[in-house]
Each structure stands twice: as C-alpha cells, then as structure tokens.
Chain A
Amino acid sequence: MLKIEEIHELIKRIDESSIDEFTFESNGTKVSVKKNKQEATLASPVQVQAQAPVPTQVQEQPVTKPQETNNQVDENVNSEQQVNYDYEIVSPMVGTFYSAPSPDKDDYVKIGDKVSADTVVCIVEAMKLFNEIEADVNGEVVEVLVESGELVEYGQPLYRVKKM
C-alpha cells in the first residue's frame, strides 16, 4: 500500500510531466492517475482517495480487473469531445455490463434515444443476478460510456443524459 505522501509526490511529478495517465500496481493495490478529466470513478468501499490538484484525479482500488480498467480509461480519453450532458447513469454494483437483453437483440438504448425515469437502459450482471438499470431521469441519451460485455465498477458512469 502506498503512503499518502507517496501518492502526493506521484501526482506532483506526473502533473509536471507530459504524461497523461499513469498506472501503478503492487501487492493487490492499484493506483491510476490521469489528467484533465471531469470526474473519477471510485469503486472500492475501502478506497483511499488523495485530494489531488484540481485537474488531476487519483483512483485507488483493489486489483480486480486491471485490463478492463485500462480499456475504460483509454475510451474516456478518446471520447474527449465536449458532450453536453447533465446527468450520468451509474452502475449500482460491480458486474458485467450488457447493453441488450441478449446478444441477438437490439440495444436497450442508443445515442439520441429519449428516456424516461423508468426506461430500462441496460443490464448489469453480478453472480447471475441480472439488474435492469433504469434511467431515473427524463432526457436524451448523449453518450454511451461502456461496451457490452465489459466489467464495470460500483458507481461507474454508464450513460450520459441531457435532461429534458
């Protein structure tokens, strides 16, 4: 486990460098640092969050699925275009994200779709419990943040919605 001072030092160094993102793993602990992002997703209930200088976010969590986390970071960085949204639908649990009821069916929602509070937007599965996630707001889907079959963390944003 890294000390908080070490995390601060790490952030400082990365902040001064030209590195956009940085991941460090040791003894079941993982620290990812990335720059210029609006929000960080925090997964583990026992997380240590360092308060970083504003543009830099720190994420520390047990190493459960390093690859997926990296993929997700990549995607977030790639989809950097300014999207106008004011609500994020987040995952209520750790599990696998499914955008459609089954592989041969259409996605529950796609970009541009209007949703109301009780519209089912996706399924998150953990331990064979299939959780139908509702939008919880009235609005329009403006961004899909996760691909079907990907693992998602507790509290991870799945969709961005422009409220109406």
Chain B
Amino acid sequence: MESTRNKLIDILNVHKNSFISGQQLSNQLNISRTAVWKHMRELEKDGYVIEAAPRKGYRIVESPKKVSSNTIHWGLQTKWLGKEVVHKHRVPSTQTVAHQQALNGSSHGTVVIADQQTKGKGRLNRKWYSENDDGVWMSVVLRPNIPPNQAPQLTLLAATVLANVLTKLKIPEVGIKWPNDILIGDKKVAGILTEMQAEHDQIHYLVLGIGLNVNQSSDTFPDEVKDIATSLKLASNQSYSIRQLIQDILFEFEKSYDVYMSDGFTSIKQNWERFGYKMGEKVAINSGNRTWTATLHGIEADGSLLVSNDDGSHERLYSAEINWKGGNVVEE
C-alpha cells in the first residue's frame, strides 16, 4: 500500500505540469482505476491538491504544506536517510523519542520529527524554545561504523549541511560558530545537539538533533532570547515550507554523510571553514578550569578548534565555552 502510494507520488511528480490518465496510472501501478481514485483521496487528506479533469486525468496542483510521515516520505530523494519517519504533533523532545526508537532497535537513518516540542533540549538540559509550529524540530538516529572519538566530526558535518541548505535558499550572512551553531549575522538560527551511546571502541548509536527556526516572527520568541535568536523569515521576509526544508536537509545530510564515510573529513573541514564565525578574532575561552583570551585560527583535521594564545603558543580545543552568546537556549 505504502510503496504503491510512493510510486504514485513519483509518477505524479514527474508529470508535474501535465495530466496523466487514470488508465495509465492503473497500468503502471498494476492496480484498478478505482484503487487509483482511492489513493488520490488519501493524498488529498495529506494535503495534496489534485486536479482531476475528465478525459485528461490527474495532476498535482500543490504539494502538502503539512508535515506527516507520509508527506516527508513522498518526494524525498534519499537512499537511506528518512526511510523510516516518525512524526508526532507535540512531544517533550524529539531527542527523547529518538533515543527510545534507537533503544528499540530502529535502523540507521530513522528520523523523528515533531510540530512542537514542550521541552526542547539544548545542551546540558538547557531549554531550546520550540513550542510552536514554526521550526524544524528533528532528530536522526545514526549507527555509524567509526570509532567513538571520531563521532564529534558528525556534529560539524551537520552544521555544514544546515549552512549549505540556508545558503542555497539565498539567506545572507550564514555562519557557523564552532563547533556547530548556525548563525545569521550574529544571531542564532539553528542549533545541533548530538547524544551518543558508545562503548570504548564501538558506537551503539547516536541521536543527532536539529532545531532550526523558520517562520517565527520576533514576538514568537520569549524575551530571554529575542536579542540573540533569529529565524529564516526574520532574515529574509519570506515564509518557508517546513516539509520542504526537512526534505532539503535530509537530502543534503545524506550526501555529506556518504562523502564523509568514503573520503573522510577533509571536504567537510573545507566546507566548514567557508562558514567559520569570528575566525581571526580574539575571544574569551573557558575550558576545564581555565579562562583566558585567544585568537581563533580555524579547525584541525579532526574538527578541534585551533587557537593561538597571547604568548604565541597554539592549542587545540575539543571542549570549550566560548564567550559568544546566542540562540533559543534559555539557561534554567
């Protein structure tokens, strides 16, 4: 049933500007014309607008705006990412749902999407404000066959994926704050939170969460984050289809992930550096029990942050608080 409907969508998408007759569809899908008609009714329920003209047949007039596992699935041009989509209207956090999925054996590439999160997670259980339908709130289950100490590179990879998608939409001034916050100008538009379960030498799974502000207006944000958060709409005066954005992100993510798995981190690093925020500038750093100022240089081959200290020495940082605030993250 599901696969017939996928084929139907694919055929209709190919014939986007022309009609295709019920008889042709019935032949190609090997189902009755009545069954074709029933499928069309189901598509309409999911938000497709379909024009049916006598003696001409059917065509898609409008793809659905609403997000469901079906509408994400249909038209998604990926090979393994998002083959399983779990969509919820309102959950505490897609991270939590994705963890449960992973523990229950969900396959590599399973995607969890919610319209709203009541307890969106930032790092260290800080809150990510996402109690609205205006963003992409999504978590992906990955089971990469790489050593756990390489896994942080995936969070940088995810950042480049988002930066590339936004750049293709002609969003100006896209930047990546090390390691993986996405900025427009100096304001945070997206955050990435990755949680991993691993043994010393083997990854069980990781859950990579993406929160992207899309159609929020300035009054959507609570006061605490108003000055530091932005959305695609605020940056471009346009609204975007959440469904389309999710598909764009998944497609771009799969492409980058496959390149990373076959060729390593080099091309991801180059891409990251195109977007690197405040490179060459001096910032205050807190790492471990130490606070100091240093100049940001770039990232190393393993994704760590390279800084030069005032005494001329260089350091690689794997974990640091850098004094630049941003995003929907509210400290609780």
Listed in ascending order, the chain A residues whose CB lies under 8 Å from chain B are 28, 62-65, 67-68, 71, 90, 92-96, 98, 101-105, 125-134, 136, 149-151, 154
Residues of chain B with a CB closer than 8 A to A131's CB: 148, 151, 195-198
Contact A92/B287 with A102-B124, A128-B192 known, Cβ cut-off 8 Å: no
Q: Which partner residue on chain B sits nearest A93 by CB separation?
A: B149
Interface residues on B, range: 35 or more
Most buried by A among B149, B193, B195, B199: B149
Residues of chain B with a CB closer than 8 A to A105's CB: 125
Stretch at the interface among B48-56, B69-77, B239-247, B313-321: B313-321
Report whether A130 and B313 are in contact in the complex, using a CB–CB cutoff of 8 Å. no
Listed in ascending order, the chain B residues whose CB lies under 8 Å from chain A are 123-126, 147-149, 151-156, 178-180, 192-201, 206, 287-290, 303-304, 313-319, 332
- Report the Cα distance A92→B180, complex, angstroms: 21
Report whether B152 and A127 are in contact in the complex, using a CB–CB cutoff of 8 Å. yes
Report whether B316 and A62 are in contact in the complex, using a CB–CB cutoff of 8 Å. yes
Report whether A127 and B200 are in contact in the complex, using a CB–CB cutoff of 8 Å. no
Report whether A92 and B199 are in contact in the complex, using a CB–CB cutoff of 8 Å. yes
- Report the Cα distance A157→B313, complex, angstroms: 28
- Report the Cα distance A95→B148, complex, angstroms: 12
Report whether A130 and B125 are in contact in the complex, using a CB–CB cutoff of 8 Å. no
Tally inter-chain residue pairs, CB-CB below 8 A.
114
Residues of chain A with a CB closer than 8 A to B197's CB: 131-132, 134
Q: Which partner residue on chain A sits nearest B200 by CB separation?
A: A92
3 closest A-B pairs by CB: A127-B152, A102-B125, A93-B149
Report whether A65 and B156 are in contact in the complex, using a CB–CB cutoff of 8 Å. no
Report whether B289 and A150 are in contact in the complex, using a CB–CB cutoff of 8 Å. yes
- Report the Cα distance A101→B319, complex, angstroms: 16
Residues of chain B with a CB closer than 8 A to A132's CB: 195-198
Q: Which of A64, A94, A96, A101 contacts B125 (CB 8 A)?
A: A101
Q: Which partner residue on chain A sits nearest B317 by CB separation?
A: A64
Within the complex, the shortest CB–CB distance from A79 to chain B, in Å, comes to 18
Q: Which of B155, B194, B200, B314 contacts A136 (CB 8 A)?
A: B200
Report whether B288 and A129 are in contact in the complex, using a CB–CB cutoff of 8 Å. no
Q: Which of A67, A126, A133, A154 contacts B319 (CB 8 A)?
A: A126
Within the complex, the shortest CB–CB distance from B128 to chain A, in Å, comes to 13
Within the complex, the shortest CB–CB distance from B2 to chain A, in Å, comes to 34
- Report the Cα distance A90→B148, complex, angstroms: 13
Q: Which of A92, A102, A136 contacts B148 (CB 8 A)?
A: A92
Residues of chain B with a CB closer than 8 A to A94's CB: 149, 304, 318-319
Within the complex, the shortest CB–CB distance from B311 to chain A, in Å, comes to 12
Residues of chain A with a CB closer than 8 A to B318's CB: 64, 93-95, 126-127, 151
Most buried by A among B156, B193, B201, B288: B288
